[in-house]
Amino acid sequence: VQLVESGGGWVQAGGSLRLSCAASGFTFKDYSIGWVRQAPGKEREGVSCISSSDGSTYYPDSVKGRFTVSRDNGEKTVFLQMNNLKPDDTAVYYCAAALPDCDYYDLGPPHYAYDHWGQGTQVTVSS
């Protein structure tokens, strides 16, 4: 099982980045995929989720309207388009796979719901 993130980097506030998560070694279409970030000294925060069954999505208020998640089951890849980035978005971003749909959980899947994790990609937003 492998999840590989890419696309992180440095950007000024107001800018955009597009993260990718390439999956292999498991039945990708059966899994919901989430993006979880962690900044130094802060708890992990789920910032998006896209379900396997119907492609429904979840975003917390902190990123709603700025982040968009999508998936390509044929390419076994999930994308996270991040617009209007803010310094508070600075973190390591991980993609992760879980069997339940995103809306199984009221506030999106908690980190312990995910079975498989990538190694993470750093996103740094300067003011």
Residue 108 pLDDT > 90, yes or no?
no
Full DSSP string of the chain: -EEEEE--EEEETT--EEEEEEEESS-GGGSEEEEEEE-TTS--EEEEEE-TTT--EE--TTTTTTEEEEEETTTTEEEEEE-S--GGG-EEEEEEEESS-GGGSTTS--GGG-SEE---EEEEEE-
In tens, the pLDDT along 38-81 reads 999 999 999 999 999 999 999 999 999 999 999 999 999 999 99
In tens, the pLDDT along 5-50 reads 999 999 999 999 999 999 999 999 999 999 999 999 999 999 999 9
Strand 67-72 with 77-82, pairing: antiparallel
